[in-house]
């Protein structure tokens, strides 16, 4: 992508690096709490079995609740977006969310050293998860608004950062386990990592308005710090009754450079996706299509993104994080971090990145939704792995390699189809309706995550 001649250069790719870090920062809460599931479960199951008498233990369904209480806020805040955007300025929303996320991570790190009764620990952890993900959702929505003002490639960079957050958490967990420290110190080290990560993210945000290249786009005709941008975004929102805010071209996860490419109207000029482009269009009398009309064109893609995430979150991590290795020994400690979290996040990331080169099946193809629906086979396949404890189903795939292969295909297809759906949707509508398509897809993405999280309860109980 060549820069416009009147635009300053992104020196040393600093703005790119800032947005990459900001993307990574948005998904730190979800990924660090998810990857630490063994730590939390260990603290919740301190009562050991004694001799042959079975001690009755409270089953907390930690992974299920963690998933649900992480994803519901995302859905809620996607719906509440318009309300928040009107009342609180962008700078306050972004910096404020980051500060609260930092405080909640610090609290989690401190709690590692605080002995607590199981029930209370469960309640405190769940409250932390709910609040940290609520702030994460506000942060995510706001940053998508900001990155939308810059050239398209910065959205890609931002979403790449989001994609890497899971791998970052998995590696932090592996290092914590590999260190010879006692389990408390290891857990403390693990939770200090996202504290530092969030601080660095805050630093990137503070640095941003000081960079000439970012200033050029963010301050062009609106005051970045004063929140005037929000007014502008609000006005250019696609939904007449203000239910959804339309600036985000997908709060999503997709890392494809094609997402929202059509927003710019003229793909030849590599100009910024300014919100006011759409204002100008409106002034020229090009009325935007209603949400219903846009939905009619993209419903297949909306269904696909919902379905992909429903399948993914219904078993990951609630079922997959309970799989046990068939090779006891030293490997046991690393098994879940490697075979569940690292494999998932790496392949999810690869699946998204691959869509830069491969876009098959095409956006009109019937095969596309068919393949998406066929991902449902991963649910029984994963449930038939060595999940412990289990009540009803037999173990079909006891070997670690079988589980690893199923996980790899499961996550590869998840990332690939999410990314394709998110990039196809704006291509199915007129360029002027690209923002509406993006906002609608964001809602369905969050809906899929929440439905999946809810389904994880019956599915885990069925194993």
Contact positions vs ligand NOS (CB under 6 A) = 27, 30, 74, 140, 166, 252-253, 312, 348, 414, 449
Q: Which two tokens stand for residue 379?
A: 């649910």
Handedness of CA 238, 243, 245, 250 (dihedral sign): negative
CB 170 within 8 A of CB 359: no
Q: Give the residue with the Cβ less far from ligand NOS, 305 or 429.
A: 305
Q: Give the residue with the Cβ less far from ligand NOS, 252 or 318.
A: 252
Q: Give the residue with the Cβ less far from ligand NOS, 166 or 238.
A: 166
Residue nearest to ligand NOS (CB): 253
Q: How far is the CB of 156 from ligand NOS (least distance, A)?
A: 15
SS3 of 108-153: the string is HHHHHCCCCCHHHHHHHHHHHHHHHHHHHHHHHHHHHHHHCCCCHH
Name the DSSP class of 399: S
Q: Give the residue with the Cβ less far from ligand NOS, 214 or 304.
A: 304
Q: How far is the CB of 55 from ligand NOS (least distance, A)?
A: 33
Residues 30, 28: Cα–Cα separation, whole Å: 6
Residues 30, 136: Cα–Cα separation, whole Å: 8
Nearest to 45 by CA among 61, 31, 33: 61
Q: Which two tokens stand for residue 458?
A: 């019956």
Residues 316, 385: Cα–Cα separation, whole Å: 13
Strands, DSSP E only, in 230-371? none
Q: Give the residue with the Cβ less far from ligand NOS, 278 or 347.
A: 347
Q: Give the residue with the Cβ less far from ligand NOS, 260 or 272.
A: 260
Q: How far is the CB of 7 from ligand NOS (least distance, A)?
A: 29
Q: Give the residue with the Cβ less far from ligand NOS, 166 or 426.
A: 166
CB 173 within 8 A of CB 341: yes
C-alpha dist (Å) from residue 105 to 112, 133, 195, 342, 452: 11, 11, 6, 21, 25
CB 301 within 8 A of CB 441: yes
Residues 194, 33: Cα–Cα separation, whole Å: 10
Query: Is residue 409 exposed (0-12), middle (13-18) or buried (19+ Cβ within 10 Å)?
Result: middle
Q: How far is the CB of 26 from ligand NOS (least distance, A)?
A: 7
Q: How far is the CB of 414 from ligand NOS (least distance, A)?
A: 6
Q: How far is the CB of 444 from ligand NOS (least distance, A)?
A: 12
Q: Give the residue with the Cβ less far from ligand NOS, 348 or 433.
A: 348
Q: How far is the CB of 393 from ligand NOS (least distance, A)?
A: 23
Q: Give the residue with the Cβ less far from ligand NOS, 222 or 459.
A: 459
**Contacts with 149 (C-beta within 8 Å, 6 or more apart), sequence order:** 217, 218, 220, 229, 272, 273, 274, 275
Q: How far is the CB of 27 from ligand NOS (least distance, A)?
A: 6
Q: How far is the CB of 416 from ligand NOS (least distance, A)?
A: 11
Q: Which residue has the tokens 């876009």?
A: 359
Q: How far is the CB of 319 from ligand NOS (least distance, A)?
A: 13
Q: Give the residue with the Cβ less far from ligand NOS, 252 or 425.
A: 252
3-state secondary structure of 46: coil
Q: Which two tokens stand for residue 421?
A: 């759906």
């Amino acid at each position: 992508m060549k820069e416009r001649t009147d635009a300053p250069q992104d020196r040393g790719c600093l703005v790119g690096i800032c947005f990459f870090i900001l993307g990574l920062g948005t998904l730190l809460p979800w990924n660090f709490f998810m990857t630490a599931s063994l730590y939390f479960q260990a603290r919740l199951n301190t009562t050991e079995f004694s001799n042959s008498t079975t001690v009755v233990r409270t089953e907390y369904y930690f992974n299920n609740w963690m998933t649900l209480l992480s994803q519901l806020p995302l859905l809620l805040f996607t719906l509440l977006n318009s309300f928040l955007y009107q009342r609180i300025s962008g700078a306050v929303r972004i910096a404020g969310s980051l500060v609260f996320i930092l405080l909640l991570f610090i609290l989690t790190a401190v709690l590692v050293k605080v002995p607590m009764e199981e029930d209370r620990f469960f309640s405190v952890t769940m409250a932390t998860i709910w609040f940290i993900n609520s702030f994460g959702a506000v942060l995510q929505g706001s940053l998508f608004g900001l990155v939308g003002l810059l050239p398209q490639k910065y959205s890609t960079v931002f979403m790449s950062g989001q994609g890497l957050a899971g791998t970052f958490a998995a590696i932090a967990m592996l290092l914590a386990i590999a260190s010879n420290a006692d389990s408390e110190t290891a857990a403390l080290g693990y939770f200090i990592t996202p504290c530092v990560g969030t601080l660095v993210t805050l630093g990137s945000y503070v640095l941003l308005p000081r960079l000439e290249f970012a200033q050029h786009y963010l301050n062009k005709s609106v005051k970045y710090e004063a929140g005037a941008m929000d007014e502008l975004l609000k006005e250019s929102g696609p939904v007449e009754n203000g239910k959804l805010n339309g600036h985000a071209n997908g709060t999503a996860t997709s890392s494809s450079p094609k997402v929202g490419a059509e927003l710019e109207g003229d793909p030849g000029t590599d100009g910024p996706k300014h919100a006011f482009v759409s204002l100008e269009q409106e002034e020229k009398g090009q009325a935007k299509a209603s949400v219903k009309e846009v939905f009619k064109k993209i419903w297949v893609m909306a269904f696909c993104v919902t379905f992909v995430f429903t399948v993914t979150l219904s078993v990951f991590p609630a079922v997959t994080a309970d799989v046990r290795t068939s090779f006891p020994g030293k490997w046991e400690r690393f098994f879940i971090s490697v075979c569940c979290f690292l494999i998932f996040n790496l392949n999810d990331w690869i699946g998204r990145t691959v869509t830069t080169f491969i876009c098959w099946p095409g956006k009109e193809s019937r095969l596309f939704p068919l393949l998406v629906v066929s991902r449902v086979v991963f649910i029984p396949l994963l449930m038939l792995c060595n999940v412990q404890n289990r009540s009803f189903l037999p173990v079909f795939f006891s070997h670690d390699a079988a589980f690893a292969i199923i996980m790899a295909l499961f996550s590869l297809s998840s990332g690939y189809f999410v990314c394709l759906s998110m990039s196809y949707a704006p291509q199915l509508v007129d360029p002027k309706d690209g923002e509406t398509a993006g906002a609608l897809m964001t809602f369905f993405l969050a809906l899929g995550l929440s439905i999946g999280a809810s389904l994880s309860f019956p599915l885990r109980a069925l194993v």
